[in-house]
Structure 1
Amino acid sequence: MAEEFREDEILGKAYDAKLMRRLLKYVKPYRKYVVIAIFLNIFVAALPTIRPYLIKVGIDNYIVNKDYHGLLIISLLLLTALILQSIVQYFLTYYTELMGQKIIFDIRVQLFTHVQKLALKYFDKTPIGRTVTRVTNDVETLNEMFSSGIVSVFSDVFVIIWIFVFMFSMSWDLSLVTLSVVPILFYATFLFRKKVRESYRDVRKHLARLNSYMQEHVTGMNVVQIFAKQKQELKKFSGINKDYKNANIKSILYYAVFFPFVEFLSALSVAMIIWYGGGEVIQSKLTIGVLFAFLQYTEMFWRPVRDLSDKYNILQSAMASSERIFKLLDDNTFINDPVKPKKLESVKGQIEFKNVWFAYNPGEYVLKNVSFKINPGETFAIVGATGAGKTSIINILSRFYDIEKGSILIDGIDIRDIDKKELRKHIATVLQDVYLFSGTIKSNINLGNEEITDEQVIEAAKIVGAHKFISKLPNGYNEEVKEKGATLSVGQKQLISFARALAFNPKILILDEATSSVDTETEILIQQAIEKLLVGRTSIVIAHRLSTIQNADKIIVVHKGEVRETGTHQELLAQKGIYYKLYQLQYKDQEIVKIA
């Protein structure tokens, strides 16, 4: 969690050219929208700035000369400019938002595609919340930059340029007087950016702590309530929340100082125009229309200046978010497919481990020189104490992780020479901790695979004994499943996971403590179904309950990452080794239960 805090506290450059070049690659497919947006920006920026000039013409040429016809023409031109500005603004907003949404869509698709390709090793070391934040919040920050930030910057810059063009075309000396406060504005803006940058870092830091604290304690609410820690946790939360509030207040303080100062400079500029320009009008060196136009241009000039200050924050947020997004996209924790993969045709299901060494962390081996062979159609059981390496064996068989030494063969082909998708198509796994997705019972069994018919879904459910309870649900197989299957019992979720595995009709079936979470009656039902299902399939069963694997064709005992014993149930009992001791412990437990 502390590492996550540090990452969220990191604030790179306000503008990073390297990051911006990478971001602009997403804009490239939508160049036509950029061209349209720039053209419309030039046009929409000119329309409001032409109005003061038209008013100047109206005053100097028509009002002073009492020319009603000319005044009518100027009024119509002003109305036309307003209507055109509204129309152009509509298309500008539409195309820029459309471009922004298309770019964000592409980034999100790329991110999700990348995340799906990452090896499980990445998810072992990365908090889920951080990855979700990258795909949601950070991408949404970029959306603000692409949809409004960049475009508004163009618009503001073009407005300022047009203002300068009209001002200098009317009076050079009054323009210089008007802009004499700009150097002060630049210095104030520099200080503002520096202070806001520091406060922005503090706000992000405290927000990250607040979010993480909320996520952790809501998830563990049962522990908080069991130990009656509500008051203590509230006190800690209030402290974190107070720090976040103070950081925001500090940030608001800079805005509260900067924007009134900009207003002061604007008023000062107006005062200088009236002082200098008024004097020029009195001396008949300047017309009243020009003076009036300059007053309007001055007011118009400071509006984009304030907007550009806001856009700085959008740019800074976008740079920070893009840095984290690209860090995720640059993560190459992959299980690479072979350049020329071999096909698994007519899979028989023979599995062989040859001197396999495996470690999650370099040098810390959890499997050491593991070797065994499973013939097609055999039921193969793996037993051992917690942490012995049982689950690691099935993880590397499905190639969720790559081994360091040795080889794993399926039908004589090294799994590293097989495309991962092709390999996993023939393997189905039922885990102890069942995960169900939001959707329906049916979608959780076929996982959206259109090749699996409704009849096959129902047949799979009937075989594992799930059809009985599913058919009693109000909507049957179309019953809605809440997040993680919250409305279903542990046993019901386990039965659905069995049906899911069987619906895909694999040649290799892996059961990892698959019956440990169900009651005795359900376990008997599943065991009866398994006896029928394992016919013609190679199966690997990991179990703590030794009674569930007594009929296995072969059993291996794994201890501290090594295969210590191999044989059938009776053969292993006769050896009176580790398996015998495990069996005796479970038998004694059963005797205690009987006595009780």
Structure 2
Amino acid sequence: MSMQGVKGEDRGDLSRDESRQIRRRSISLLMDLLPPYRRQVLAIAGLIVASAAMQVAGPALIARGIDRGLPAVVEDNDFVPIVLIAGAFLLTGFGGALLLAAYTKKSIAFSQDIMADLRLRLFAHTQRLSMGFHETYTSGRIIARQTSDIATLGELLGGGLTNLVSGVLFMTFTTTALLTLDPESALPLVGAIIPIMAVTWWFSHASRREFRASRTHSARVIIQFVETMAGIRAVKAFRRESVNRDTYADKVEDYREATRRTIQVFGIYEPLLKVIGTFTVATLVLLGAFRVIEGTLEVGVLLAAVLYTRNFFTPIDSLAMFYNSFQSASAALEKISGVLEEAPDIADPANPAPFVAGPGTIRFDGVSFGYSDDVEVLPSFDLTIPGGQTVALVGATGAGKSSVAKLIARFYDPTSGTITLDGRDLKDISNRDLRRAIALVTQEAYLFSGSVSDNIRLGNPRADDAQVESAARAVGAHDFISALPEGYDTDVNKRGGRLSSGQRQLVSFARAFLADPRVLILDEATASLDIPSERLVQHGLKTLLADRTAIIIAHRLSTVAIADRVLVMDGGRIVEDGPTAELLSGTGRFATLHQAWRETLV
């Protein structure tokens, strides 16, 4: 499914064919989740059948007790029949309750297993998806899929689905028992089925529409909240609190209104069922009374028929509740299945031959690339970077520098042409081998919650403490790490908030050094640093870039100075190419950029 289709689900503006396709996809996902839990499902089904059968036996035993047990006591002073009937009634009542408790416990465990499986599947699949997906699909929407949507599905599986099955079985057994006891007493109930089906048909269509809208607005509320909290620094910096509050209030109001309409539909459905049930029971009592007077119907049978008829309508309330949760869960399942159906744009080759990078020579041959069909970032790009060379890419914003880096890291594939590493097309190298050969260090220098050593070890999870410390020493990070309260075991806090920008960048360099890639890409890796921090990082850079192919993307020309070769880009093309000193001595764009940068330092 395309990203446009996924967005359409969140908007709720799907055509009938799209809605039908999404429902089929959702059912397919649910069926795919069930096979590992076949035994649990069969056990729950058996408990439900036995429980429903025991619950249905009660009215028939009451009829037997009134019409057979009581006369035996009154006429023959024989208490045996009534005692046996009472014992059977207690046995079925307690047995049904115990079985109900057993299948409730098992169904809850089953739902938790399914939720855990789905969470793991969704998490793993989302990680596999290409950067194009993550740059389009917001983090708030992913969080909504992983949290509220899966929780809603869990509620359905944990209680709603078993309530549906037990309710349907109970109604079926009740109707069968009533027909067996007295077919004529079942006629009012049979007549009530038509209005019940009509009301349920209306409810199914109305609630499906309203629940889909409710899930859409729920996701939008979560998205707005997550994005506001993630960007809280920008919110405060630009005094966006009141604007964001109003925007959030509008989304909350839309969600409240959608939920109100959903409840309103349910509020109409349940009372209509009660009216139909009351009218049916009243009709049965009236007709049964005449038959009792005529002597064609026993009192106990009439009482049992009334109980069966009333009991028939009792699960309908539960079925309405089930439909409530079913519609909500269906909408959630549609969105989850939409993410799981997304295929990575960057596919791993089917049978890749093992690859170990050699000198690290990179070659672009006739490459063109664009993030969308109508915008071409690199119209025609040719470039060769010999192994071991450090190349700096400079140019104005939008010149195509970061696009070149993303193509080398294979976050994207070119629209046409080929990119090779040591003569091997990147598309023919497995993702594992490619990630081992190429590493990317970005401006963000993202650190995960955990210790400093854990963050450095991300470059090589099997590295021991000595190797971690050696990597830190190599890039000049050891001294400040040792000065932290717990040294390498110090928790960096959320996103590395305990460290300065320069310190975080040095940790990211140590991580890359430990990974030991043949090709290293630095995408604006020093852009967020102040001058003292940048000087601190320069030493680490020299060590990090030694003996490997390196591509440095930078606006700061002080970072470019360590490059062997400078490429000036403009409009997706290389307009200058040469050694740093040679370009500086000329009158071209790089010399102009360098002079402008020097003037900013005065």
TM-score (norm 2): 0.89
Counterpart Cα distance in 2 of 1:14 and 1:255: 26
How many angstroms does 1:233 deviate by?
5.0
Which amino acid in the other structure matches residue 549 of structure 2? Answer: T
Kindly indicate whether the alpha-carbon contact (under 8 Å) linking 1:149 and 1:315 is maintained by their aligned counterparts in 2: yes
How many angstroms does 1:307 deviate by?
1.5
- Give the stretch that moved more between structures: 228-237 or 414-423: 228-237
- Give the stretch that moved more between structures: 204-213 or 51-60: 204-213
Encode CA deviations 1:77-105: one digit per residue, 9 max, x unaligned: 22222332233223322333333333333
Encode CA deviations 1:504-540: one digit per residue, 9 max, x unaligned: 1222222222222223333223222332333322222
Kindly indicate whether the alpha-carbon contact (under 8 Å) linking 1:179 and 1:269 is maintained by their aligned counterparts in 2: no
Change in Cα spacing, 1:184 to 1:53, as seen in structure 2 (3 Å) is same
Instruction: Work out which of the residue numbers 35, 49, 68 in structure 2 matches 1:42.
Output: 49
Counterpart Cα distance in 1 of 2:357 and 2:52: 68
- Give the stretch that moved more between structures: 291-300 or 248-257: 248-257
Confirm or deny that 1:297 pairs with 2:300: no
How many angstroms does 1:198 deviate by?
4.2
Kindly indicate whether the alpha-carbon contact (under 8 Å) linking 2:141 and 2:219 is maintained by their aligned counterparts in 1: no
Instruction: Indicate the SS of the match to 1:343.
Output: coil
Instruction: Indicate the SS of the match to 2:370.
Output: strand
Confirm or deny that 1:520 pairs with 2:527: no
Change in Cα spacing, 1:322 to 1:251, as seen in structure 2 (3 Å) is closer
How many angstroms does 1:290 deviate by?
1.4
Q: Give 2:586's aligned residue.
A: 575
Correspondence 1:279-358 to 2 at 5 A: 279-345=290-356, 347-358=358-369
Which amino acid in the other structure matches residue 65 of structure 1? Answer: A
Kindly indicate whether the alpha-carbon contact (under 8 Å) linking 1:15 and 1:316 is maintained by their aligned counterparts in 2: no
Q: Give 2:376's aligned residue.
A: 365
Confirm or deny that 1:9 pairs with 2:12: yes
Counterpart Cα distance in 1 of 2:86 and 2:462: 69
Kindly indicate whether the alpha-carbon contact (under 8 Å) linking 1:494 and 1:517 is maintained by their aligned counterparts in 2: no
Q: Give 1:20's aligned residue.
A: 27
Encode CA deviations 1:412-444: one digit per residue, 9 max, x unaligned: 222222112201202222111122223332222
Change in Cα spacing, 1:527 to 1:121, as seen in structure 2 (3 Å) is same
Kindly indicate whether the alpha-carbon contact (under 8 Å) linking 2:360 and 2:549 is maintained by their aligned counterparts in 1: yes
How many angstroms does 1:216 deviate by?
4.6
Which amino acid in the other structure matches residue 64 of structure 2? Answer: V
How many angstroms does 1:576 deviate by?
1.4
Q: Give 1:175's aligned residue.
A: 186
Which amino acid in the other structure matches residue 12 of structure 2? Answer: E
Counterpart Cα distance in 1 of 2:24 and 2:351: 39
Counterpart Cα distance in 2 of 1:197 and 1:404: 41
Counterpart Cα distance in 1 of 2:224 and 2:129: 27
Q: Give 2:63's aligned residue.
A: 56
Correspondence 1:371-450 to 2 at 5 A: 371-447=382-458, 449-450=460-461
Confirm or deny that 1:101 pairs with 2:112: yes
Counterpart Cα distance in 2 of 1:230 and 1:15: 38
Q: Give 2:489's aligned residue.
A: 478
Instruction: Indicate the SS of the match to 2:34.
Output: helix
Change in Cα spacing, 1:218 to 1:337, as seen in structure 2 (3 Å) is closer
Counterpart Cα distance in 2 of 1:527 and 1:109: 41
Kindly indicate whether the alpha-carbon contact (under 8 Å) linking 1:508 and 1:538 is maintained by their aligned counterparts in 2: yes
Counterpart Cα distance in 2 of 1:184 and 1:233: 48
Kindly indicate whether the alpha-carbon contact (under 8 Å) linking 1:473 and 1:479 is maintained by their aligned counterparts in 2: yes
Counterpart Cα distance in 2 of 1:532 and 1:254: 68
Counterpart Cα distance in 2 of 1:258 and 1:392: 56
How many angstroms does 1:165 deviate by?
1.6
Confirm or deny that 1:501 pairs with 2:509: no
Encode CA deviations 1:244-296: one digit per residue, 9 max, x unaligned: 33443333333333323322333333322332223322333222221222232
Counterpart Cα distance in 2 of 1:484 and 1:381: 28
Q: Give 1:29's aligned residue.
A: 36
Q: Give 1:566's aligned residue.
A: 577
- Give the stretch that moved more between structures: 566-575 or 527-536: 527-536
Counterpart Cα distance in 1 of 2:114 and 2:485: 43
How many angstroms does 1:237 deviate by?
4.4
Q: Give 1:146's aligned residue.
A: 157
Correspondence 1:173-212 to 2 at 5 A: 173-212=184-223
Kindly indicate whether the alpha-carbon contact (under 8 Å) linking 2:212 and 2:331 is maintained by their aligned counterparts in 1: no
Which amino acid in the other structure matches residue 7 of structure 1? Answer: D
Instruction: Work out which of the residue numbers 76, 80, 103 in structure 1 matches 2:91.
Output: 80
Counterpart Cα distance in 2 of 1:308 and 1:37: 18
Equivalent residues, number: 591
Counterpart Cα distance in 2 of 1:235 and 1:394: 40
Instruction: Indicate the SS of the match to 1:75.
Output: helix
Q: Give 2:557's aligned residue.
A: 546
Instruction: Indicate the SS of the match to 1:408.
Output: strand
Instruction: Work out which of the residue numbers 146, 167, 185 in structure 2 matches 1:156.
Output: 167
Kindly indicate whether the alpha-carbon contact (under 8 Å) linking 1:13 and 1:316 is maintained by their aligned counterparts in 2: no
Q: CA RMSD in A?
A: 2.9
Change in Cα spacing, 1:506 to 1:389, as seen in structure 2 (3 Å) is same
Which amino acid in the other structure matches residue 45 of structure 1? Answer: A
Structure 1: which 5+ runs fail to align? 592-596
Counterpart Cα distance in 2 of 1:73 and 1:277: 27
Instruction: Indicate the SS of the match to 1:355.
Output: strand
Counterpart Cα distance in 1 of 2:519 and 2:123: 29
Q: Give 1:466's aligned residue.
A: 477
- Give the stretch that moved more between structures: 251-260 or 293-302: 251-260
Encode CA deviations 1:214-242: one digit per residue, 9 max, x unaligned: 44544555555556565555455445444
- Give the stretch that moved more between structures: 302-311 or 173-182: 173-182
Percent sequence identity over aligned pairs: 34
Counterpart Cα distance in 2 of 1:268 and 1:286: 21
Kindly indicate whether the alpha-carbon contact (under 8 Å) linking 1:167 and 1:175 is maintained by their aligned counterparts in 2: yes
Instruction: Indicate the SS of the match to 1:401.
Output: coil
Structure 2: which 5+ runs fail to align? none
Q: Give 1:536's aligned residue.
A: 547
Kindly indicate whether the alpha-carbon contact (under 8 Å) linking 2:366 and 2:418 is maintained by their aligned counterparts in 1: yes
Counterpart Cα distance in 2 of 1:244 and 1:360: 34
Kindly indicate whether the alpha-carbon contact (under 8 Å) linking 2:144 and 2:223 is maintained by their aligned counterparts in 1: no
Encode CA deviations 1:471-528: one digit per residue, 9 max, x unaligned: 3333333333333223332222212211111121222222222222223333223222
Q: Give 2:72's aligned residue.
A: 65
Kindly indicate whether the alpha-carbon contact (under 8 Å) linking 2:459 and 2:514 is maintained by their aligned counterparts in 1: no
Counterpart Cα distance in 1 of 2:106 and 2:596: 72
Change in Cα spacing, 1:473 to 1:70, as seen in structure 2 (3 Å) is farther
How many angstroms does 1:399 deviate by?
1.1
Kindly indicate whether the alpha-carbon contact (under 8 Å) linking 1:13 and 1:319 is maintained by their aligned counterparts in 2: no
Encode CA deviations 1:371-411: one digit per residue, 9 max, x unaligned: 33333332222222221111112211111111133332322
Kindly indicate whether the alpha-carbon contact (under 8 Å) linking 1:381 and 1:556 is maintained by their aligned counterparts in 2: yes
Encode CA deviations 1:21-64: one digit per residue, 9 max, x unaligned: 44213223332223222222211110111111112222222223
How many angstroms does 1:354 deviate by?
3.0
Instruction: Indicate the SS of the match to 1:65.
Output: helix
Kindly indicate whether the alpha-carbon contact (under 8 Å) linking 1:8 and 1:204 is maintained by their aligned counterparts in 2: no
- Give the stretch that moved more between structures: 191-200 or 214-223: 214-223
- Give the stretch that moved more between structures: 392-401 or 124-133: 124-133
Encode CA deviations 1:126-175: one digit per residue, 9 max, x unaligned: 22222332333333333333333333222111101111121111111112
TM-score (norm 1): 0.90
Counterpart Cα distance in 2 of 1:121 and 1:31: 37
Change in Cα spacing, 1:451 to 1:20, as seen in structure 2 (3 Å) is same
How many angstroms does 1:351 deviate by?
2.4
Q: Give 1:594's aligned residue.
A: none
